[in-house]
Structure 1
């Protein structure tokens, strides 16, 4: 049984070092695969360290495990995509419409009366520009 736990420790070392090498060389992004390798590697180190009473290693690998677990949970919550939001289209006067829809632009400056002249709009004051 001791041989099994020794092999688990070595497997943990291979998992963590392989993931670190792959990310460092650019072969793998620091995503799910990296965090999963760290998670399993730290579990193997925790088991091996506990059997050898290597408590500093056990504590370090418990922290390593928690960091990887939290990272994986956070990655999972980010994966659920939100509803795609269609951007509002803004059409500026004098700019061709690229949407295929016709834009209606009204010029207000010529339609408004000059200050002190023109009809009164509803029962309110005259418009002045």
Structure 2
């Protein structure tokens, strides 16, 4: 898999990404994280209506190698969950940025995204530059 870091996203140092459109944030995990985890076998995500707190764990991703907590990049309420990816988590490797999103969240305070890394800063972090 070619590791890409789309410029329209912001990234956390814990490898989640966020795409903010108005007050709706699409949250997923980066191609780098998917690559590091290897074969993903299980996703545990909150239901629609659940609240997220920035910096807190909101679910887990499990691979044949490890179980990792997913950290919320923003505070808000889950308005949509990608049930297709929950049912077939192995598909995350195909396109983590488009079809492989995890949650859509109505954000309480969009300025929370300001702390996140740009695509270039995230790339430098994960590629060790």
How high is the TM-score relative to the length of structure 2? 0.22
The answer to which structure, 1 or 2, has the higher relative contact order (CA under 8 A, 6+ apart) is: 2
Please say which structure displays the higher CA radius of gyration: 1
How high is the TM-score relative to the length of structure 1? 0.22
Please state which structure has a larger fraction of its residues in strand: 2
